[in-house]
Structure 1
Amino acid sequence: MGYYDITVPRRLELSHPNVHHKGLVHPRRIMQVHDFLYITEGEWEIFLGEKPYLLEKDDMIILHAGVEHYGNKPCLPETKVYFLHVFPEERDSFREISETPPHGCVKIANVVHCRGNLEIKKLFKEIISTFWNGTPQSVSKNSVLLHMLLLRASEAENAGSGSETDITERCINIINSHPERFVSPEEMARALFVSERTLRNAFKRSHNTTPYNYQRDLKLKRAIALMREYPEMTMREIALNLGFADDSHFSKVFKSVYGVSPANYKNSLAEKDEVPGISFMPISENDIVRQC
């Protein structure tokens, strides 16, 4: 169990993607930096201390600075990994027993299963890209990204209770991570290691709706925000940004919920008329991806 300080700037020694074409036995070593490994393809068994961890696709392991780690057998051929060598900070620590983290530190499991949290993989990719950009802002930007990575990994560690509240919160995180498409209940259940029935029942009891309807309503509120804040966007742009098949599909769903077409609603905005029952959700430029 690792404890990592998020109150101080974080620095990288090195970062890179690797492909082990013929398989590789992880070397036995004690490093002076934390070695963050993310498996993007393949399988690799690594010992941390005396405990073995079998890493599969979308697993992350933190090989803590000052702690011996090694492998006894090679990873599968063509195993692909991202690695980050992160300088340790004074309050970082490695403990055998899980305890409440000190103030300003986060607690992270040695292995984090990221199938339901693809943001962690995206952060690895962005950190590696930023590191090699070599701009004057790269160090500061990567410090922020590393803090975000530590926070997301800690959230994943604390999201393993299996309670209905936990399941629905993680489900919503998946939905919010993919605003550009609809995520099927089957995909969410698979990512959360639960059955579709368990997922639906948990969502029904906590939100009195289904995962699909929650996504639909969230996307329609975002569509309303886009129409208000970016009136120059076409219905096709809005539809494709939010995962609808086309503007016709978007219009049909919008009208079935609000009783008015999105085009008519947009016209009412231009005329300063409010449509009853339609609320506004603030949205930022980062939520928009042009797809025309």
Structure 2
Amino acid sequence: MYIMELQKPEVTAMPTYTLGCQRQISAANYIYYADGCPHPDRIMQEHDFVYMINGEWEILQNEVPFTAMNDDVFILHAGQHHSGNKNCTPGTRTIYFHISCSPQDSFIGNAPFPGSTLPPLIHCSSFPRVKLLFQELISVRLSPSPNKDRKINALFDLLLLELQDSCAQNSHTQDTLLTQAITLTAQNPQKFYKTSDMALLLGVCPKTLNQRFREAYAKTFYQYQMEEKIHLVQQFLLDYPDSKLQTVALNFGFYDEFHLNKIFKKHTGTPPGLYRKTLTANTLRPH
């Protein structure tokens, strides 16, 4: 096991965790603190990841306090001094795991290898997949699967990337309007939402909806939805080469085969039937 040397902290330290490394989890589980207690005073040679299911807890890393509440994540970096002066609230529940270091992990950031740069405390209430990944890591670690180590490494990389996304979103004003609009269109591929209809569902005016999409994606809601549909049709044509175009049109919210042909050709330069033949002949997948 790689032993991480103690790295002197900097005021603006932003640790980096290398992706694609072989790691091992030495301990992982759910913990319930009936009466509350402070965090242990220690320096570990592994990273300590803690998900707060509920409760409140102040933990110090190199004497700097961080207070986590429901759906927050602590990342306590290996080789650093961790302690607690206060008890967590009674009834606090957490998920934790201790995972081995990579020689390329860095407490002061600027790692020369691809990785996720993450602060010690991350708010994840808008990213439910973070909790699911913690739970899956616990489940896999306890399983008898012969592929346990590979699964753990894959899940840990996914967790790092999800935490990175959470940090990126937290650094801006969270736009739940976009999230709701995108989720509705993704969950209902057979529907084609007019901008006015989607705006009505979300309780805003069409102008506001389009403005938010332009700010985030440099396109209107209609343009975003259409491009996503074209991508879905491209994949469907390849996966189901014998499907009728009328069926494809109905599956993805187009009025009929003629409507699908017109829109598809406008966006790709090729009618869907010819596009499918070309893909099939060359065994290519759409990008």
Match of 2:111 among 92, 101, 108: 101
Runs of at least 4 residues off by over 4 Å: 158-161, 167-182, 197-200, 212-231
- Provide the residue aligned with 1:76 in structure 2: 89
Q: Relative to 1, partners in 2 of residues 1:178 and 1:40: Cα closer, same or farther, differing over 3 Å?
A: farther
- 1:141-290 mapped onto 2 (5 Å cutoff): 141-162=151-172, 171=178, 175=182, 179-180=186-187, 201-205=211-215, 206-210=217-221, 218=228, 222=232, 229=239, 254=253, 258-260=254-256, 275-277=261-263
Match of 2:125 among 115, 133, 142: 115
Q: Is contact 1:44–1:75 with CA below 8 Å preserved after alignment?
A: yes
Q: Which runs of 5+ in 2 are unaligned?
A: 1-13, 190-197, 242-249, 273-287
Q: Relative to 1, partners in 2 of residues 1:81 and 1:201: Cα closer, same or farther, differing over 3 Å?
A: farther
1:36-91 residue CA offsets vs partner (Å, 9 max, x unmatched): 00112222111111111110122111111121112222222222211011011222
Match of 2:50 among 37, 40, 62: 37
1:80-137 residue CA offsets vs partner (Å, 9 max, x unmatched): 2110110112222223xxx533223331111122123222222111111111112110
CA RMSD of aligned residues (A): 4.4
**What's the TM-score once normalised by structure 1's chain length?**
0.63
Alpha-carbon distance in structure 2 between the residues aligned to 1:78 and 1:2: 30
Secondary structure of the residue aligned to 1:277 is: helix
- Provide the residue aligned with 1:241 in structure 2: none
Q: Is contact 1:42–1:80 with CA below 8 Å preserved after alignment?
A: yes
Q: Which runs of 5+ in 1 are unaligned?
A: 189-196, 232-250, 281-292
Q: Is contact 1:108–1:153 with CA below 8 Å preserved after alignment?
A: yes
Q: Is contact 2:104–2:111 with CA below 8 Å preserved after alignment?
A: no
Q: Relative to 1, partners in 2 of residues 1:199 and 1:62: Cα closer, same or farther, differing over 3 Å?
A: farther
- State which structure, 1 or 2, has the greater radius of gyration over its C-alpha atoms: 2
Residue 221 of structure 1 deviates from its aligned partner by 6.7
Q: Is contact 1:18–1:80 with CA below 8 Å preserved after alignment?
A: yes
Identity between Structure 1 and Structure 2 (%):
29
Q: Is contact 2:140–2:148 with CA below 8 Å preserved after alignment?
A: yes
**What's the TM-score once normalised by structure 2's chain length?**
0.64
Q: Is contact 1:168–1:203 with CA below 8 Å preserved after alignment?
A: no
Q: Is contact 1:26–1:74 with CA below 8 Å preserved after alignment?
A: yes
Matched, 1:14 2:10: no
Q: Relative to 1, partners in 2 of residues 1:178 and 1:275: Cα closer, same or farther, differing over 3 Å?
A: closer
Secondary structure of the residue aligned to 1:61 is: strand
> Aligned partner of 2:63: which letter?
E
- Provide the residue aligned with 2:62 in structure 1: 49
Residue 27 of structure 1 deviates from its aligned partner by 1.8
Q: Is contact 1:24–1:73 with CA below 8 Å preserved after alignment?
A: yes
- Provide the residue aligned with 2:276 in structure 1: none
Alpha-carbon distance in structure 2 between the residues aligned to 1:19 and 1:52: 22
Alpha-carbon distance in structure 2 between the residues aligned to 1:36 and 1:148: 14
Match of 2:99 among 59, 81, 86: 86
Residue 33 of structure 1 deviates from its aligned partner by 1.3
Match of 1:131 among 141, 166, 170: 141
Secondary structure of the residue aligned to 2:37 is: coil
Q: Relative to 1, partners in 2 of residues 1:127 and 1:200: Cα closer, same or farther, differing over 3 Å?
A: farther
Q: Relative to 1, partners in 2 of residues 1:275 and 1:113: Cα closer, same or farther, differing over 3 Å?
A: same
- Provide the residue aligned with 1:247 in structure 2: none
> Aligned partner of 1:88: which letter?
C
